A and B are shown apart, each in its own frame.
Chain A
Amino acid sequence: MRCRLDSLSLIVCLHLLSIDGDDDKGERSQIGDTMTVAAGVGYVLIALGPALSLFASVIAKKPFLILTLLSSTLFWLISLIILAGAWRAFLPVKSTELWPYSILILTSVGFQEGIRIGFWRLFKKMEDMLNAFADRVSKPRLFLTDKMQLALAGGLGHGLAHAVFFCLSLLTPAFGPATFYVDKCPSIPFFLISAIIALGFVIIHTFSMVIAFNGYTEGKRKDQIFVPFAHLIAALITLINLVPGGCNIGLPLLCIMAGTTLYYSWQLVWRRLTEHQTTRSSD
């Protein structure tokens, strides 16, 4: 079942696809049912696989990190709602030109990067409160690894929010029997593209939070500038998807961007930890 592509008809179409799936479920065979649920679950795991493994290995062990994750997800959602409210009057954008969408992207990314600084201030306050609390219960103050874990949890919250709202919430028809292709990208199903983009952005959001917090704490301009740039470039790469056939270029570029962010964050954390180790052992 193919659908035409503008926003409101897309909503109707997605609902129809899911209803179609439910009706057919009664007459179809068991194998057919499980195949489509498997496809849906597969898309979810593509988008959220690394996030889930990060969650299970690092965050689930410390309850405070789970709370940080939930609050940063909420934070990102609120920023998204504010953006949606600001842009509501101009939507739906009927034209297929590039410039309305690029303004959309620029304003959104700029707003979110601005919010990140606010998030960092909140983080500093929370760190102070935690240190004061640790003094009161006569426990050691926050270690460097603790702070990095907090940054990781915050970033993962942002990435999770992105994946949930941009990918998972539209994934309901994927659990039915049909699939969906976007006009501009006829070679890959829509769900797969959004899952891969969500994967890229999960990685970018998670690790750019680590880089950003380290950059603001240490005061290094290089790190501080890297994060907004990386975010902006990644978002602009998705603009390539507007061109017919562009997604074949856009997707690999986005994955390269995610890999770059990951590598940069790895180098930063490695350097920071070894520095900390040497200063401590030299005391």
Chain B
Amino acid sequence: MDDRSADSDPVTAGESSILDTLGEDVIRIVSPVSLCMVLVVLLVSSLSSTNDLSSSISSLFLSSTTTPTSFSSLNLLLLGSDSTWEEIKSALVTALSFVVVVTLLTFLLVLLFYFRCTNFLRIYMGISSLFVLSFLGGFISLLLISHLKIPIDPFTFAILLFNLSVVGVFAVFMPKFPISMNQGYLVAIGVLTAYWFTMLPEWTTWALLIAMSLYDLAAVLLPIGPLRLLVELAMSRNEEIPALVYEARPVDPQPGDRVRVWRERTDVRIEATENSTNSANVQTVQETRLAVSEEITAPLIEAFPQTGDRHLGTEEEEDGIGLGSSGAIKLGLGDFIFYSVLVGRAAMYDYMTVYACYLAIMAGLGVTLLLLAVYRKALPALPVSIMLGVVFYLLTRVLLEVFVVQCSSNLLMF
């Protein structure tokens, strides 16, 4: 019998069970994703009003003094109609134009990377992150201050905002920064951008999510996809890809593990390791697009310096995609943002959809990590989670809510 073979008691034998440390790297990527989603849900529920038109108008009025207006709220005002078909059409147009712009800019990025203009890219990304932290962060802080009636004077606010944004740029930009600040600021950038995206009208948000997940699927898996080209270029040159990538804090290697270094499309032997879960890697280079005005969209790709605490040793072939001796999972910031956008948009309907979509996204992330462990190449992290999230949102809204409310309003539970 199974439990007879479980020989010694952990207390007396002094050994630890495998259950103690298994799955730790997955948890280290699940926690920041969950934190980002929780923060976006809190922001959405404390700041949102009842429908999208009024919130976009209020953001429009507020933003006329601070940031340029967004394309979609302007579009909505121009169209002025509330009919569903008009909304769907404008949503599809917006989503399609967004994807087209993203594709063009990614190809531009690949071109620049090919011509080794890395410094230009890094500086540009630094400026973009400064923009996100200062302008978006300031805008959202102003909304929070006016909503929660926090007493603060403009000078203190300006100093705090300036300090926090500059430190944030350094935290994601410089190599020797403490990793918790790096991770914290990456989550903050994700929260701000995701909240901004939830201010779009409803149909546009859903169309955008589905379009971006299809784009992600195509861009990473198709041979001509820009992200795949980028990944191959970076691997062939053994350089890091300049991108905003969240890397989980590496797990300590267990004694007796051999290191897994994998790479695709070369003939180097893949060293199998005993610890199959410890070296999963999701390399999803995601760019985030920030629609700052009607026409101009700025790619938000920041350099991710990551040399600090990985002891490379003999593995000089270790590149931005492969793993060091401590396998850590990397997830692009765009994935954080789009997951949080989905959950934030679900929060605008009801909390039941929030919980359902959260579970769906976690399931999708788990499936992606499993696929990663099987296929061992760069995989898109968006499609599975977003599709599951959308399906669960629809199912909850259509089926579950009526059922649960029917049962609990009669105080019938099981």
Chain A residues in the interface with B (C-beta under 8 A)? 5-8, 10-11, 15, 19, 22, 61-67, 70-71, 73-74, 77, 80-81, 83-85, 87-88, 91-93, 101, 104-105, 108-109, 112, 127, 130-131, 133-134, 136-147, 149-150, 162, 164-172, 182, 184-185, 193-194, 197-198, 201, 217, 231, 234-235, 238-239, 241-242, 247, 250, 276-277, 279-280
Q: Does B402 contact A (CB under 8 A)?
A: yes
Given A140-B7, A143-B17, A169-B350, A84-B412 contact (CB < 8 Å): no
Identity of the chain B residue whose Cβ is nearest the Cβ of A169 in the assembled complex: B352
Check B15 against A139 for contact (C-beta < 8 Å): yes
Check A101 against B411 for contact (C-beta < 8 Å): no
Check A149 against B19 for contact (C-beta < 8 Å): yes
Q: Which chain B residues border A165 with CB–CB below 8 Å?
A: 352, 355, 400, 404
Check B18 against A137 for contact (C-beta < 8 Å): yes
Q: Which 9 A-B pairs give the minimum distances between C-beta atoms?
A: A84-B403, A241-B411, A169-B352, A235-B414, A63-B27, A64-B23, A84-B399, A63-B23, A7-B406
Check A143 against B10 for contact (C-beta < 8 Å): yes
Q: Which chain B residues border A234 with CB–CB below 8 Å?
A: 414
Give the contacting residue for A105; candidates B10, B19, B414; CB below 8 A: B414
Check B402 against A7 for contact (C-beta < 8 Å): yes
Given A7-B405, A83-B403, A146-B351 contact (CB < 8 Å): no
Check B409 against A10 for contact (C-beta < 8 Å): yes
User: Closest CB of chain B to A106's CB: distance in Å?
Assistant: 10
Q: Which chain A residues border B26 with CB–CB below 8 Å?
A: 63, 67
Q: How many residues of B contact A (CB 8 A)?
A: 61
Check B411 against A197 for contact (C-beta < 8 Å): yes
Given A81-B400, A143-B6, A168-B351, A74-B359 contact (CB < 8 Å): yes
User: Closest CB of chain B to A41's CB: distance in Å?
Assistant: 14
Chain B residues in the interface with A (C-beta under 8 A)? 2-10, 13, 15-24, 26-27, 30, 49-50, 254, 256-257, 274-276, 350-352, 355-356, 359-360, 362-363, 366, 392, 395-396, 398-414
What would be 6 A-B contacts, judged by CB atoms less than 8 Å apart? A71-B363, A81-B392, A197-B413, A238-B412, A239-B412, A279-B4
Check B19 against A146 for contact (C-beta < 8 Å): yes
User: Closest CB of chain B to A57's CB: distance in Å?
Assistant: 15
Check B404 against A166 for contact (C-beta < 8 Å): yes
Q: In the complex, A146→B3 CA distance in Å? A: 10
Apart from A85-B395, A140-B6, 14 more pairs, CB < 8 Å? A7-B406, A63-B26, A70-B30, A77-B355, A101-B410, A104-B407, A130-B22, A140-B13, A142-B2, A143-B9, A145-B10, A146-B19, A170-B352, A172-B350
Q: Which chain B residues border A11 with CB–CB below 8 Å?
A: 401, 405
Identity of the chain A residue whose Cβ is nearest the Cβ of B410 in the assembled complex: A242
Q: Which chain B residues border A91 with CB–CB below 8 Å?
A: 402-403, 406
Check B411 against A185 for contact (C-beta < 8 Å): yes
Check A169 against B351 for contact (C-beta < 8 Å): yes
Check B402 against A84 for contact (C-beta < 8 Å): yes
Check A77 against B413 for contact (C-beta < 8 Å): no
Q: In the complex, A143→B404 CA distance in Å? A: 39
Check B399 against A88 for contact (C-beta < 8 Å): yes
Q: Which chain B residues border A108 with CB–CB below 8 Å?
A: 414
Most central of B18, B22, B274 by chain A CB within 10 Å: B18
Identity of the chain B residue whose Cβ is nearest the Cβ of A168 in the assembled complex: B351
Identity of the chain B residue whose Cβ is nearest the Cβ of A163 in the assembled complex: B413
Q: In the complex, A234→B395 CA distance in Å? A: 27
Identity of the chain B residue whose Cβ is nearest the Cβ of A76 in the assembled complex: B359
Check A140 against B15 for contact (C-beta < 8 Å): yes
Check B6 against A144 for contact (C-beta < 8 Å): yes
Q: In the complex, A146→B362 CA distance in Å? A: 24
Check A70 against B362 for contact (C-beta < 8 Å): yes
Q: In the complex, A269→B27 CA distance in Å? A: 29
Check A77 against B359 for contact (C-beta < 8 Å): yes
Check B414 against A63 for contact (C-beta < 8 Å): no
User: Closest CB of chain B to A59's CB: distance in Å?
Assistant: 11
Q: Which chain A residues border B24 with CB–CB below 8 Å?
A: 63
User: Closest CB of chain B to A27's CB: distance in Å?
Assistant: 11
Q: Which chain B residues border A162 with CB–CB below 8 Å?
A: 413
Q: Which chain B residues border A143 with CB–CB below 8 Å?
A: 6, 8-10, 17
Q: Which chain B residues border A140 with CB–CB below 8 Å?
A: 6-8, 13, 15, 17-18
Given A63-B22, A140-B8, A77-B27 contact (CB < 8 Å): no
Check A194 against B411 for contact (C-beta < 8 Å): yes
Q: Which chain B residues border A150 with CB–CB below 8 Å?
A: 19
Q: In the complex, A112→B414 CA distance in Å? A: 9
Q: Which chain B residues border A81 with CB–CB below 8 Å?
A: 392, 395-396, 399-400
Q: Which chain B residues border A84 with CB–CB below 8 Å?
A: 399-400, 402-404
Q: Which chain B residues border A146 with CB–CB below 8 Å?
A: 6, 17, 19
Q: Which chain A residues border B10 with CB–CB below 8 Å?
A: 143, 145
Check B414 against A136 for contact (C-beta < 8 Å): no
Q: In the complex, A108→B19 CA distance in Å? A: 33
Give the contacting residue for A238; candidates B4, B356, B405, B413; CB below 8 A: B413
Q: In the complex, A15→B18 CA distance in Å? A: 47
Q: Which chain B residues border A247 with CB–CB below 8 Å?
A: 411
Q: In the complex, A161→B401 CA distance in Å? A: 14
